[in-house]
Structure 1
Amino acid sequence: MAAAADTYFVTLGMFIIDEFAFCDENGVETGKSVMPQIGGGGTYAAIGARIWLPPHDLGMIIDRGNDFPPSIQAKLSSYSSDNGMWLFRDHTDRGTTRALNSYRGDHRGFLAFILHRAVDLSELFFLFLFGMRITPRDLEGTRKARPRAMHFICSPARALEIIKEVREVDGWEPVMIFEPIPDRCIPEELPALIRALPSISVLSPNAEEALSLLSLPTDAVNKDVVEEAARQFLELGVGDGGRGCVIIRAGPLGAFVTTREKGGWWIDAFWTSEDARRIVDVTGAGNSFLGGLAAGLFETNGDVYKATFYASVSASFTIEQEGLPHLSNRPGGNSAIEIWNGDSPSRRLEELLKRHGSFA
C-alpha cells in the first residue's frame, strides 16, 4: 500500500520563463519592453493553490537550466522561503524552457523553446516533446510523492498515459483535476477523452475548448450552450461511476459547476465586466483557478461547489497584473497574515459568498 501523502496538491504542469515582443497591427515594433517573467500553466496552478495553502502542502517540479535568473529564483522563494513547494531539477547542459509571447496589436502568438548547447533541430524537437514532460513517476522518491490531489494540463491522449502511471501505484487514488490543453481541444481528441473520463475527478475546459471538443458552435458563447456542453460531458461519464464533476470556465460569465447528484450552479467571476480597470492580463487565470479549486476542495472537505468560490478568488488575483500576484505579510496576532496584491483572499471569499446567499 502507498504511504499516506504528506503533500495535498501537486501540479504536473510546466514552468516556463516568458519573454515578450510587441508589434503594431502592421508588424512594426512598438518599442514596448517587458522583463522576462515567470510563466507556465503549472506555475500558475501552484500559485493559485498557494493563495490558500502553506508551501509544505503543495508541490511542483521545476526544470532549472544553466541560465536561471536570480530575480526569478528570488520571486519563487517569496512564495516558499524554504523552497518547500518547489522540486528543482538542475540541468547544467541547457537553458531553462522559455516561451516567446509575440503580440501583433491585440493578437498574441506563443512559441516555446529551449536554450541548449549545440543541438540540431531534431534534438531540440525531441527535448521539447519528451524531455520536459513531467509525469507521476517523476514524483516517486521525492518528498512530494503520491499527493492527494493532482492537476495536469495536456491532451486527452496524454491524460490516458498519466492515468495509467497513477494506477500502477498500489493504493494511490488521488483527486485528478484535468485541464485539457487548448490546441488539442478538437473533435478528434474526443474518443481519447471519453476513455479517460471514468478516472477524472474534475474535468475543466474553458467554454470555447468544451464546445470545440463536442463539435458545438463556438461563435456565440452563452450560459445555455455552456450548460449543454457540461450536460454532455456528464453523460459521457466523468468520474468513477459518473460521480465526477464538470466545471466549464466562461470568463466574465463565471464558471458553471455540475455533478449528477446536485445538478448545475453558476459561480460568479470575482471581477466582472464592470471591473475592467482591475483586469490587466488574463494569462494563467484558468490555471490558477484550478489550483484554487484544489485548495478549496481541501478547505471544504471535498465540496466542489464551495471550492469553486476559492477558485474564482485565486483567478481574481492572477489577472490584476502581468505575471504572478505579489505576496506580502502583515502583522497579526501571534503570526503574520499573508496578503496578496494588498488584499486578503479570505475577505474576497466572503464578499463572493455574499453574492450567492444560498452558499453563505
Structure 2
Amino acid sequence: MAPDDNNSEHRAFVSLGMFIIDEFSFADEDGKPTGKTVAPQIGGGGTYASIGARIWLPPSQVGMIIDRGHDFPTHIQDALNAYGPDMWHFRDHPNRGTTRALNAYRGEHRGFEYLTPKLRITPRDLMDTKLSHPRVLHFICSPTRAAAIMSEVKQVDDWHPTTVYEPIPDRCVPEELPALQTVLPDISVLSPNAEEALSLLSMPTNPTKQSIEAACSAFLDMGVGPTGGGAVVIRSGAMGACIGLRGSPCTWVEAFWNGEDNADKVVDVTGAGNSFLGGLGAGLVLNKGDVREATAYATVSASFTIEQEGLPHLSQVLDENGQALEVWNGESPHRRLQVLHDRLVAKGTK
C-alpha cells in the first residue's frame, strides 16, 4: 500500500483526470431562466484532485496534463499559475478549443454535458514528461477503462504506483460490477461515494452507516489490491468516510464540516470527492501508506473545497518566526488536521 520510495525522484501524485472549463446556466423548476449568471470557471475532476493534493505537497510533487486550446482564457491561466506553474504540463492544441462543459441547473437538479469533445489522458501520455512514473496515480473512469489504464501501467518498466481509482458516477450501475471485479486486484484504493457503492452492489441507495459498511466489506471480499491487500474508502458526505482494510473492522473518519453548527460552511460540494482523493494520495505519501491517516488528510482537503464555488484560495502569511506559510481560504491545513485528530480522539475513534 505504501507508495514506492524508490520513485522518490518522481512526482508524489499525478491525476489522469481532465481539466475542463465549466460554464453554467440556471433555470427554475419549470425551465424558466432565473437571470443568475456565473462566469466560466476552472473545473474537471483531475484539477480538483490535483489541488486536493497540492494543499499538502509543493507544486514540484503534484501534477496533471492540461490540454490547452486556442481559446484558453488568460484569467484561468493566471489562476492556475497561482497554485504553482510547475504543477501543470500543458499540451497546446491550436486547432481546437479547450474542453468545456455546461452545468445546467433546473431548480436543485444539475445536468452536465460536454460542449466540446473530451481528450482522454492515459499513462502513456505521462512518459517523457516531468510527470512520468508518479508514486501515486489517480484516475476517474469506467471499470473497463480502468483495466486499460492498468494494462498500460504494467507495460512501463520499474513503475509500481499506488493506484487510487474513482469510478465515474454514470458507470456505477450493477451491470458494471463484473468489469469492476476484474480490475480490482490491480487497484490499491477503490473509492466510490456511498450512493455509487450501493448502486454497484444493487443495494438500496439510501445510505446508512450499516449499509455503507456492508458495501465496504463486499468490495474487500472481491479482492481489492494484489493478494487482497488493498483498501476501500467510501466517501459518505456529512457522515464522513468509511475505511475498509482486509482483516479489520470498517472504521470511520468524520467529515470536517459535518453539519454540527457549521452548515453555513458548505457552499458548493462540486469537486469535493475529487479533492478528497487528491488529499488521500498526498496523505499516503506523507504517512508511508497509512490509509486511515491519509483519509484524515483527504477530509481536510475536501473541507477547503466545499467552502466556496470553485477552487479554494491559496495565499501566504508570515508565521511567528517570519517564515512564509501557505494558507488555504486563510487557514492552515495542518491546523485543521490537528482539530480533526482531536475530535477523533475525543470520540474514541482514533
Q: TM-score, normalised by structure 2?
A: 0.95
- Residue number among 105, 108, 123 corresponding to 1:106 in the alignment: 108
In 2: Cα distance, 1:3 partner to 1:297 partner = 14
- Residue number among 95, 99, 115 corresponding to 2:97 in the alignment: 95
Once the two structures are superposed, what CA deviation does each residue of 1:59-88 show, in whole Å capped at 9, x if it has no partner? 1000001111111001001100xx111000
**1:23–1:30 CA contact under 8 A, matched in 2:** yes
| Aligned match of 1:15 | 19
SS of equivalent residue, structure 1 residue 325: coil
The answer to whether structure 1 residue 234 and structure 2 residue 236 are counterparts is no
Map 1:31-70 onto structure 2 (within 5 A): 31-70=35-74
- Residue number among 245, 262, 275 corresponding to 2:231 in the alignment: 245
**1:16–1:97 CA contact under 8 A, matched in 2:** yes
Map 1:320-335 onto structure 2 (within 5 A): 320-332=307-319, 333=321, 335=323
- Residue number among 313, 318, 342 corresponding to 1:354 in the alignment: 342
SS of equivalent residue, structure 2 residue 17: coil
In 2: Cα distance, 1:344 partner to 1:99 partner = 32
In 1: Cα distance, 2:34 partner to 2:8 partner = 54
Query: 1:255 corresponds to which letter in structure 2?
Result: A
- Residue number among 148, 167, 172 corresponding to 1:185 in the alignment: 172
Query: 2:283 corresponds to which letter in structure 1?
Result: G
In 2: Cα distance, 1:295 partner to 1:335 partner = 23
In 2: Cα distance, 1:295 partner to 1:263 partner = 24
In 2: Cα distance, 1:94 partner to 1:72 partner = 17
**1:353–1:359 CA contact under 8 A, matched in 2:** no
| Aligned match of 1:78 | 82
SS of equivalent residue, structure 1 residue 108: strand
Map 1:270-285 onto structure 2 (within 5 A): 270-274=256-260, 275-285=262-272
**1:306–1:359 CA contact under 8 A, matched in 2:** no
Give the direction of change, closer, same or farther, for the CA distance of 1:55–1:193 in structure 2 (3 Å limit): same
The alpha-carbon deviation at position 263 of structure 1 amounts to 2.9
Unmatched segments (≥5 aa) in structure 1: 115-126
**1:38–1:324 CA contact under 8 A, matched in 2:** yes
**1:5–1:145 CA contact under 8 A, matched in 2:** no
SS of equivalent residue, structure 1 residue 28: coil
The answer to whether structure 1 residue 6 and structure 2 residue 10 are counterparts is yes
| Aligned match of 2:148 | 161
In 1: Cα distance, 2:294 partner to 2:322 partner = 28
SS of equivalent residue, structure 2 residue 65: strand
- The share of aligned pairs that are identical, in percent, is 61
| Aligned match of 1:264 | 250
In 1: Cα distance, 2:29 partner to 2:212 partner = 32
Query: 1:346 corresponds to which letter in structure 2?
Result: H
- Residue number among 302, 306, 317 corresponding to 2:304 in the alignment: 317
SS of equivalent residue, structure 1 residue 258: strand
**1:150–1:177 CA contact under 8 A, matched in 2:** yes
**1:5–1:146 CA contact under 8 A, matched in 2:** no
Between the two proteins, the alignment pairs up a number of residues equal to 341
Once the two structures are superposed, what CA deviation does each residue of 1:210-243 show, in whole Å capped at 9, x if it has no partner? 011111111x210000000000000000000010
Map 1:142-221 onto structure 2 (within 5 A): 142-218=129-205, 220-221=206-207
In 1: Cα distance, 2:341 partner to 2:318 partner = 26
SS of equivalent residue, structure 1 residue 84: helix
In 2: Cα distance, 1:144 partner to 1:334 partner = 33
In 2: Cα distance, 1:185 partner to 1:179 partner = 10
Once the two structures are superposed, what CA deviation does each residue of 1:44-70 show, in whole Å capped at 9, x if it has no partner? 000000000000001100000111111
In 1: Cα distance, 2:247 partner to 2:86 partner = 37
In 2: Cα distance, 1:263 partner to 1:152 partner = 27
The alpha-carbon deviation at position 101 of structure 1 amounts to 0.5
**2:56–2:282 CA contact under 8 A, matched in 1:** yes
The alpha-carbon deviation at position 298 of structure 1 amounts to 1.3
The alpha-carbon deviation at position 94 of structure 1 amounts to 0.9
Q: What RMSD, in angstroms, separates the aligned Cα atoms of the two structures?
A: 1.3
Query: 2:194 corresponds to which letter in structure 1?
Result: A
Give the direction of change, closer, same or farther, for the CA distance of 1:79–1:263 in structure 2 (3 Å limit): same
In 1: Cα distance, 2:153 partner to 2:36 partner = 45
Query: 1:251 corresponds to which letter in structure 2?
Result: G
The alpha-carbon deviation at position 335 of structure 1 amounts to 3.2
Query: 2:12 corresponds to which letter in structure 1?
Result: Y
Structure 1 runs of 4+ aligned residues shifted over 3 Å read 2-5
